[in-house]
Every structure is written in C-alpha cells, then in structure tokens.
Amino acid sequence: MSDEIESVEDFRTRARAWIKANLGPVQGWDLSQHCEDDDEEREAVARDRALQRKLFDAGFAGICFPKEYGGQGLTPDHNRAFNEELAGHEYASRFAVPTFSPCASTLLEFGTAEQKAAHLPAILKGDEVWVQLLSEPGGGSDVAGITTGAVRNDKGDWILNGSKVWTSRAWWADWGLILVRTNWDVPKHTGMSVFIMPLHQPGVEIHRIERLNGESEACQEFFTDVRIPDSDRMGEVDAGWTIGQRWMYHERLGHNSPYVCHPIGQRKAGGPAEPSTVALARRSGRIDDPAARELIGEHRALGIVTQQLSHRIASAAASGKGNTDMSSIDRVFRGVASARRATIAFELAGATASVWDEDEEGATEAVGMNFLMRQVGSIGGGTTEISRNVVAERVLGMPRETSGDKGVAFRDIQRGPKRG
C-alpha cells in the first residue's frame, strides 16, 4: 500500500465533487451564529453535529490531523483547498472555533496519547464540542493572574474551585480546556496547570450572560469542589503557562488555523450579516458622493488586506518559516479593521442605522448592531492591547515593560487597592 500523499489538485477535485453532491447551500445559522431562541440553537447544534459526522464518514474531517486519531494526515494546503471549495455551502460552523482551534489544536500538541485517543476522534466525529475556560471575573486580560485554583487530595485527584467568564457556548458544549492555579508560592507564570474537564457534572454551575445585542451565547461558570482525576491533567504540574502560550497562539489563529474547516471567501461567522456598502450608499442617496465612494473603497481595501494578511501569517506559521507570535499582528489588524469597517458602514447608512423598523426588510439593523458591538473584535479572544505587547516584545524584540510582580510569589502579589 502506497504512503504517497494525494496531490492538492486531485484532492480539490475530489472534495469539490463531494461537496456539491452532499452539502446544501450555506445557512443563516452559519453566517450569523444567531438563533431566535434556545430551541432553534439546539436544533442548529444538532445539525452541526450531524454535518461534522458526515464529513468524518466521507473522509474529509480533520484534514491536517494524524490518521491515528481519525484525521486525514494531509497538509495545510489540502485544508485550504477544501475550505475554498466549501464557500457557499453549509458546514459545521459551531465546531470551527473554539473546538478545533484552540482546543483540539492544543490537545493534539500537549495531550497524552490516552487523552488524544479518547477525545480527538470524538471531536472529528461531532460527538464532542469543546470550549476554552480562560478569562476570569477579576482577571481582565491578565491571563496569568488567574485565581481559580485546584488542590490535590489524598487520593491524587484535583479539587477545583473558582469561576471563569465569557465562555462562548458553555451552556450546550460538552468539554472544556481550563487553566487553573495549582501553586500560590511561586511567581504567577510558574504556578498554573491545564486540565480537561466535562462541563456538565456535579459542582459546575453555568450562567448565561446577555449582551447588548440581546444574544446570550457567553456564559460564566462557577466551580465548587469539582473533582478532576489526575489523568485529565495536560502537561506537567505547574507548567501550564508553557501550554497556555501555545494555547493562546492557536486562539489568535482562530478560523485561519490549518486545523479548522471554514469556508474561505465567505464572511466570517459572528454577528448580523454584513451588508454591501455600495447598497448602503445607494439607499441613503450618497452613491455619487465622492466622500462616500472613498469610504466604500476603504471598507473594501480593509477587507482584502485582512484576508490576505491572515492567510500569509497562517501559512508562514504552518510551514515553520514564521515567528509563531506573528499571529498577534493578525489579531491587532483584525480588531482595528473590523471596528473601522463597522463605523464606515454606519456612516454610509445615515440616520436609518441608528433607528430601524423591525418589520422592514433590509440591512439597517445589521449596520446598527454591528456598530454597537464593534469593539467586541478588539476584546474577545484577548484584547488588541495585549497583542500589541506581544508584537513589540516577541516579534520586534523590544524590551519588556518593568513589572512589580516579577519573582514575587503569587500569594504575595497585591490584587486590589490598598486599605487603610
């Protein structure tokens, strides 16, 4: 039996034929990730699980994952070819991020053989949806400042207490990748560990968070004496920051990860569908206005640069030729560009973008809501301010800012205003 890898073009041809024969047109659920109510959301999740299983059964799931875990053992170029052919078709949109990137990507890199064998095939088959448990109510963007902790009992298990927040999809997901404090007597970057854990178990409470746009995808989790077996620890005890840095690298890659199945050339999921700026200008009577035409050109240019920059950085990282921290460049540009594009659309739409008739067909609601939520792109998944620091220190080699907590045991670090 030959081990020769199928050429990208042959794979593309085969993928194109299968996609056209087996996948329907792209769904609104895929483009907006928004459902009218919980029942519709559950229906969308079930549909995505079935689609992911269909990919697996056809030999198109996990294109860059090793064959031993149910993947195809192919290259990022094969994955890109599949994603290009997928444009315009339905797909398992809720599996892309964070299940495949960063969760499955991190599990593949740092998990034990037993952990990978137990979970990667289940993910590829659509049986497990994962979330990442990083942010905390009092932590802001300082991931290393986490206080959710785990201590080991006399049976060797870990007992977890604390809280995580802004966890997308936790209310219906299956498993989570969690970073916790396991040592308070060492500096903050050296006392963390990573665990994998089922979300729906005794001691875990999941509360929904309603945002400005009315959706409640994000959640806060409260952990009270949750037992985690040591076999679900990923990596060495207190070495979680090493894993965490790669975890956050995969998070910044997001949909551009070679491990993700996501259409290229199709608007990225998240928020209302993005309207045409030309249509907005025509509707507001500004299509012949030179200033409006400049805004349309700027909007289009930012979209093109965002897509091409993401592809260039992801390709360089996948080939090993680029600094992996360059993903922070993409993170900064996407955050700034998405906010600017939402602002341009709002300006072109005029007054109708601020107040719209819910009974009227049109794009004004999307424009207003995208403008209202425009800063999410600079906050969710790690703020652009943190990414700027990463670019400065790890890409450009600039000196690190001085810090008062360097070399200080975490329990001795002041985490609030002084009293008295």
Could you tell me the mean pLDDT of each successive run of 10 residues in the chain, 420 residues long? 82 98 87 81 95 98 97 95 95 94 97 98 98 89 91 97 95 98 96 98 96 86 98 97 91 87 66 71 93 96 91 76 80 93 93 67 70 86 86 91 85 71
Look up the pTM and report it: 0.86
Q: Give the model's pLDDT for residue 397.
A: 93
Q: Which of 211, 154, 161 is nearest to 182 (CA)?
A: 161
CB < 8 Å & 24+ apart, contacts of 360-364: 362/283, 363/273, 363/275, 363/276, 363/279, 363/280
CA distance 221 to 170: 8
Strand duo 149-152 + 130-133: pairing: unpaired
Q: Give the model's pLDDT for residue 362.
A: 52
CA distance 420 to 414: 14
Strand duo 192-198 + 204-208: pairing: unpaired
Cα distances (Å, whole numbers) of residue 183 to 141, 146, 410: 20, 11, 8
Q: Give the model's pLDDT for residue 1.
A: 43
CA distance 63 to 77: 10
CA distance 26 to 44: 13
> For the chain, which domains are there?
8-128 (1.10.540.10), 132-248 (2.40.110.10), 273-395 (1.20.140.10)
Q: Give the model's pLDDT for residue 356.
A: 61
Q: Give the model's pLDDT for residue 408.
A: 93
Q: What's the sign of the alpha-carbon dihedral 224, 228, 233, 238?
A: positive
Q: Give the model's pLDDT for residue 269.
A: 39
Cα distances (Å, whole numbers) of residue 242 to 103, 131, 249: 15, 19, 11
CA distance 104 to 98: 8
Q: Give the model's pLDDT for residue 417.
A: 58
Under 8 Å between Cβ of 348 and 277: yes
Q: Nearest-5° angle of CA 386, CA 193, CA 170?
A: 70
